[in-house]
Amino acid sequence: MDYFEEKNYNAINIIAGSDYRKIDKLKQENDSWTNILGKLKNNINPEEKWADLENEGVRLILKENPEYPSLLEEISWVPFGLYIKGSLPKGKAVGIVGTRKATSIGRDFARKIAKELSSAGITIVSGLAMGIDESAHQGALDAGGKTVAVMPTGLNKIYPAQNINLAKNIIDRGGALISEYPFNSPTYPANFIQRNRIISGLSLAVIVIEAPEKSGALATARFALEQNREIFVAPGQVNHPNYKGSHQLIRSGARIITSAEEVLEDLNIEYNKQDHQAAEISGEEKEIFEIIKQIGWPAPIDKISQKTKIGIQKINQIITFLTIKGLIK
């Protein structure tokens, strides 16, 4: 790929304020980014801006680059270029999205299903936001897998700042942070919606966990539908506001899922079922499962808590997941 094209596109992206329509119009009228930059009046030094990227360990690949993700080329509004920090994993990917104000049950489920999918070799894609997103990224890291965070800002600024350490771990474990925005881009509200098309675009399917009625996760699901991606939804309490949008998706035809196994089967992805089931239950889950077997039916919550020394609230959460998996009734 022509180094000058990448360098000059970066400068154009800065000048145009990442305005997709403006950049698209310029590209339609010219055959190269180098020609476009030569016609624009500006005071930007492309070499200096390129050096900023290199100093931060960020590279830029244009959609003409063979490394550009092929799935992303299928979508509407294909990003002209991707800024990448870390290593963009190859292979199958699944997006996991949901509300920032997630319940502990939702966060636990996001982390668990991401861990299980990662154990089956799936890359997890999300947006690094608080709540469901961060839980999904962490689940992938728990499994020693790879995950990609799609950012609504330039990669010299981690958003939200609370997840700086998580972002570092994603990169250190072989994953990547990616963005279509140049350094020092303002964080406009529209950026969060626009980046969602990339989350779904990189993925074979999108899993929605806890989406309120007005949620960015619903925007991701709409993009996924337009892009002919599968949409999976984790069901929840009927009257809980965090599931209002989720249940609307189910009514509209999205598939209900309660485990990673169901996702893999629906996507026709082969995996070692025995290993997967072993990974499904571990730690406190396994401890509670064994105690329930010992006590027999019925097994009172307070007795389980007494034997395991685990709090009743946590036990109730774990029992919910064991029930969803069909391991207990």
pLDDT at 187: 87
- Bigger pLDDT: 283 vs 168: 168
Which tens digits make up the pLDDT trace of 29-49? 888 998 898 888 888 899 999
Using alpha carbons, select from 230, 213, 198 the residue that is nearest to residue 83: 198
> How does pLDDT run across 55-70, given as a tens digit for each residue?
999 999 999 999 999 9
- Determine the pLDDT at residue 276: 47
User: Helix, strand, coil: what percent of the chain each, to 5?
Assistant: 50, 10, 35
CATH class of 93-273: alpha beta
The structure's pTM equals 0.82
User: Do the beta carbons of residue 194 and residue 216 sit within 8 Å?
Assistant: no
Q: Where are the domains of the chain?
A: 1-55, 93-273, 281-324
The pLDDT of residue 278 is 46
- Please state which of the ranges 83-92, 191-200, 246-255, 318-327 shows the lowest mean pLDDT: 318-327
Q: What is the pLDDT of residues 218-256, one digit of tens each?
A: 999 999 999 999 999 999 888 899 999 999 999 999 999
User: What's the CA gap between 71 and 267, in Å, rounded?
Assistant: 15
> Considering the chain, what is the average pLDDT of its residues?
90
